[in-house]
Chains A and B, each alone.
Chain A
Amino acid sequence: MWTYHTLRKQNYTGKIFLVGDDQDLKINEYKKKYGKEMLVFDKKKAALEADSGDNTGDLRSTLFAVNTIFKLAKENNIEYFYIMCDDYSSINYKLLIDGEAVNTNVDNLDMLFRDTLEYFKSIDAVTIAFAQGGDFIGGIDNGHGCYRFSKRKSMNSFLCSTNRPFKFMGRLNEDVTTYVNLGSKGKLFLTLCNVAIIQLQTQAEKGGLTDAYLDSGTYAKSFFSLMYNPSCVKVALLKSNHTRIHHTIKWDNAVPKIINEKYRMKNIE
């Protein structure tokens, strides 16, 4: 429930819904605590409607919840909403002001959400995300030879609309698999680069999805993205304190470019 408290602490005053599944042993406890803010879905049914990309039947995945949220939003007459998939300790500005790096809490999330929504409404994107801490590691291009936010990714925090539905795919790594796969077909995924969600450490919290990752390591997780998008995703070793297998996206081969209208012939209907 970190994200719930973070949103309130940083002055978000709108509605919040927590989404849980009927397989969760603590679901009744959550329902008692959060009342009408707690929405519960049938996970097995959701699994039947999702493309999990494997036949393990393993339900330890956020895939089923994220896809169901579109339906839940509609049922609750909500047109625009954020899907927030993790525990956020804060949502921060990521700026350089007078040459000094700024990494401090956003003061007024209501205002930030309103401005982001205004932009979202004005373009054809299927979603816009905030950056993640890891996006800023390694400098402007992180060694990939292109400006990092010309990469058209959206991870973890998704501003969505019931009028622009899309389906996440793949039991693990579904955010990456989805933005690459749908991105390659011209769906627009974007990240706002001067705001970042700050997450609790991945794969440090025990339970559910973390256990699923630990069962198969990041090997299986990364291969989901490769399986769906073999022409532009590779699996490689990510060197860090704990070297692990991770996906690498060849962005020039992943998604069509966005270009200015001036390059288009005038008479095309």
Chain B
Amino acid sequence: MKQFSMFGDEPVKDDGNKYTKGVGSPLYEPKNKCPDLLELLDHTKTDQLINEIYNSNVTAAEKSFLIQAARRHSVFYYSKIADYYANCSEEMQKLMEKSALIIIDFEQAIELGYLELSNKVVQQYLEHNE
């Protein structure tokens, strides 16, 4: 079979299965080190906005609305969040999943299916162009 890849990587066998990693993967590999919770989120901008809102003369209802809106500026670091997930308690994992802070690839359906589809595309090309 011809060698193929998306960007010139050598095809790599994935733990003995038939899939190639030549097309990369949409999955993230968490690190062993658990980050501090403070590293998962940057709310500097949010705090600045909330401070300004508190010190304003708008109505209480307006303040409440603006404070909720200010939270849209909180910056989440999803690679750190994934690292944290991989190293935290069962209960925390469950709550993180419910809040969609992480996506679990059950039975590797996303990763292996993606690679399998990519391989089928290559096979299609080869069959029609050999």
- The reply to whether A96 and B26 form a contact with Cβ atoms under 8 Å apart is no
Q: CB distance A194 to B109 under 8 Å?
A: no
Would you call A119 and B117 a contact (CB within 8 A)? yes
Bound Cα distance from A263 to B93, whole angstroms: 10
Asked if B125 contacts A95 (CB within 8 A), the reply is: yes
16 other A-B residue contacts (CB within 8 Å) besides A98-B3, A264-B93: A95-B121, A96-B8, A97-B2, A119-B116, A125-B110, A150-B28, A192-B118, A253-B75, A256-B100, A256-B103, A257-B79, A258-B105, A259-B105, A260-B27, A260-B105, A263-B104
Interface string of A65-99 (1 = CB under 8 A from B): 00000000000000000000000000001111111
* Chain B CB within 8 A of A2 CB: no
Residue of A nearest to B121 (CB): A194
- Tell me the number of A-to-B contacts counted with CB atoms below 8 Å: 166
Contact check, A254 vs B78: say whether CB atoms are below 8 A apart: yes
Contact size class for B? Answer: 35 or more
Is A108 interfacial (CB-CB < 8 Å)? yes
* A257 engages B82 (CB within 8 Å): yes
* CB nearest to A97 among chain B residues: B4
Who on chain A is nearest to B43 by CB?
A231
- Asked if A13 is at the interface (CB within 8 A of a chain B CB), the reply is no
Q: Is B55 an interface residue (CB 8 A)?
A: no
A-B contact pairs, 22 of them (CB 8 A): A93-B125, A95-B121, A98-B4, A115-B124, A119-B116, A149-B26, A150-B27, A188-B110, A190-B110, A194-B121, A252-B79, A256-B81, A256-B103, A257-B78, A258-B103, A259-B86, A261-B108, A263-B85, A264-B93, A264-B104, A265-B93, A268-B93
Indicate whether A255 sits within 8 Å of B74 (C-beta atoms), given known contacts A96-B5, A111-B124, A185-B100: no
What does the 1/0 interface line of A153-188 toward B look like (CB < 8 Å)?
Answer: 000000000000000000000000000000001101
Asked if A93 and B121 sit within 8 Å, CB to CB, the answer is: yes
Q: Do residues B124 and A108 form an inter-chain contact, with CB atoms below 8 A? A: yes
Query: Ordered nearest first, which 8 A-B pairs have the shortest CB separation?
Result: A186-B100, A257-B28, A257-B82, A265-B90, A107-B128, A263-B86, A258-B103, A119-B117
Residue of A nearest to B74 (CB): A231
Q: Mark A100-125, 1 if CB is under 8 A from B, else 0.
A: 00101011100110011011001101
Query: Is A195 among interface residues, defined by CB-CB distance under 8 A?
Result: yes
Residue A152 at the chain B interface, CB threshold 8 Å: yes
Say whether A267 faces chain B, with CB atoms less than 8 Å apart.
Answer: yes
Assembled-state Cα–Cα distance A99/B94 (Å): 45
Could you tell me if A252 and B117 are in contact, using CB atoms closer than 8 angstroms? no
Q: From residue B37, how far is it (CB to closest CB) to chain A in Å? A: 16
B118 adjacent to A194 (CB under 8 Å): yes
A230 contacts partner chain B, Cβ-Cβ < 8 Å: yes
- On whether the beta carbons of A258 and B7 are closer than 8 Å, the reply is no
1/0 per residue, CB under 8 A from B, across A3-40: the answer is 00000000000000000000000000000000000000
Which chain B residues lie closer than 8 Å to A195 at the CB level?
121
Q: How far is the CB of B112 from chain A (nearest CB, A)?
A: 9
Q: Are B73 and A231 in contact (CB under 8 A)?
A: yes
Contacting residues, chain A, for B94 (C-beta < 8 A): 268-269
Min CB gap B98→A, angstroms:
10
List A132-154 residues whose CB lies under 8 Å from chain B: 139-140, 147, 149-150, 152
Contact among A119, A139, A152, A258 for B113, CB-based, below 8 A: A119
Pairwise interchain contact B78-A253, C-beta atoms closer than 8 A: yes
Whether the pair A259, B85 counts as a contact (CB closer than 8 A) is yes
- A115 partner, pick from B4, B27, B120, beta carbons under 8 A: B120
CB of A50 closer than 8 Å to a CB of B: no
A258 cross-chain contacts in B, Cβ below 8 A: 26-28, 103-105, 110-111
